[in-house]
């Protein structure tokens, strides 16, 4: 059994401290895009519903939303920043534009994003019930622990499970508001409610994730462990060659 497989004992698991909380906050900020990522998430939809509220022109509203998404990606490329959040926004807007153009119904601009939210909420719940909470799969590489939390850090696995439940229930609660509006409200009503629900549920989920992880044992840096094992193996081989000489 290697050090990567050995379960962490109570003696080995350190209690979380101020540094752990700071690292957790920084990792969450990186994983979910921070303030800039939120702006990139909200701006295309906000532009779409604003223009559509003014002139009721689906084509202009959709083209404007897609254009601003592409501009946000271009800015990140020019600055050589991480583009994953901006690219996800472009794909989401592009699917919305395609749906709306195909059906001629402006409300369908929001449908792909709503379906994605529903699927993601179900995924958080399902993976947690399966014993592999999705938030752990997302954040494990960010914390350099990969899947070590599953077998070696039970306190951390429990925190990931709580966080995944929080994300799942928050997203499903959001869907419980949006889908009835999709059927009963008009495009502008749905659009403004959707824009209003972009940030607050997200911030609540991130805060709860930080709260659970800040109280959990610190992550096990499996990359550092592997590097240490490689160095130890090289030293053993070097020592063996010296003895043979």
Q: What residue ranges do the domains of the chain occupy?
A: 18-244
Indicate the pLDDT class of residue 188, thresholds 50, 70 and 90: very high
Q: Which of 101-105, 129-133, 177-181 has the lowest mean pLDDT?
A: 101-105
User: 80-85 — which CB contacts under 8 Å span 24+ positions?
Assistant: 85/33, 85/36, 85/37, 85/40, 85/41
Indicate the pLDDT class of residue 146, thresholds 50, 70 and 90: confident
- pTM of the model as a whole: 0.80
Among 220, 228, 225, 212, which Cα is nearest to 146's? 220
Written as one string, the DSSP assignment of 152-218 is T-HHHHHHHHHHHHHHHHHHHHHHHHHHHHHHHS-HHHHHHHHHHTTHHHHHHHHHHHHHHHHTSPP
Tens digit of pLDDT for each residue in 157-166? 999 999 999 9
Indicate the pLDDT class of residue 37, thresholds 50, 70 and 90: confident
In this predicted structure, the answer to whether residue 3 has a pLDDT above a threshold of 90 is no
Enter the tokens of residue 48. Answer: 């779409």
Mean pLDDT of 49-72: 90
Enter the tokens of residue 36. Answer: 């800039």
CA separation for the pair 58, 107 (Å, rounded): 10
Kindly state the percentage of the chain with pLDDT values over 70: 82
């Amino acid at each position: 059994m290697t050090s990567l497989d050995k379960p962490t004992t109570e003696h080995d698991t350190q209690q979380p401290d101020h540094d752990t909380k700071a690292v957790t906050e920084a990792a969450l900020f990186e994983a979910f895009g921070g303030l800039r990522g939120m702006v990139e998430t909200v701006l295309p939809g906000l532009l779409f519903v604003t223009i559509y509220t003014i002139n009721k022109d689906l084509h202009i509203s959709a083209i404007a939303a897609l254009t601003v998404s592409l501009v946000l990606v271009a800015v990140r490329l020019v600055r050589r920043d991480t583009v994953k959040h901006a690219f996800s926004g472009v794909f989401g807007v592009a699917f919305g534009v395609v749906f709306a153009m195909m059906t001629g119904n402006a409300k369908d601009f929001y449908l792909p994003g709503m379906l994605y939210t529903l699927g993601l909420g179900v995924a958080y719940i399902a993976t947690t019930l399966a014993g592999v909470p999705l938030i752990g799969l997302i954040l494990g590489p960010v914390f350099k622990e990969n899947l070590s939390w599953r077998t070696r850090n039970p306190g951390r696995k429990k925190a990931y499970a709580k966080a995944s439940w929080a994300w799942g229930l928050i997203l499903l609660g959001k869907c419980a508001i949006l889908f009835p509006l999709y059927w009963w409200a008009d495009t502008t009503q749905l659009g403004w409610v959707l824009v209003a629900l972009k940030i607050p549920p997200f911030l609540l989920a991130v805060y709860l994730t930080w709260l659970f992880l800040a109280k959990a044992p610190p992550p096990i840096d499996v990359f550092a462990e592997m590097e240490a094992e490689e160095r130890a193996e090289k030293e053993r081989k070097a020592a063996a060659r010296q003895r043979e000489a």
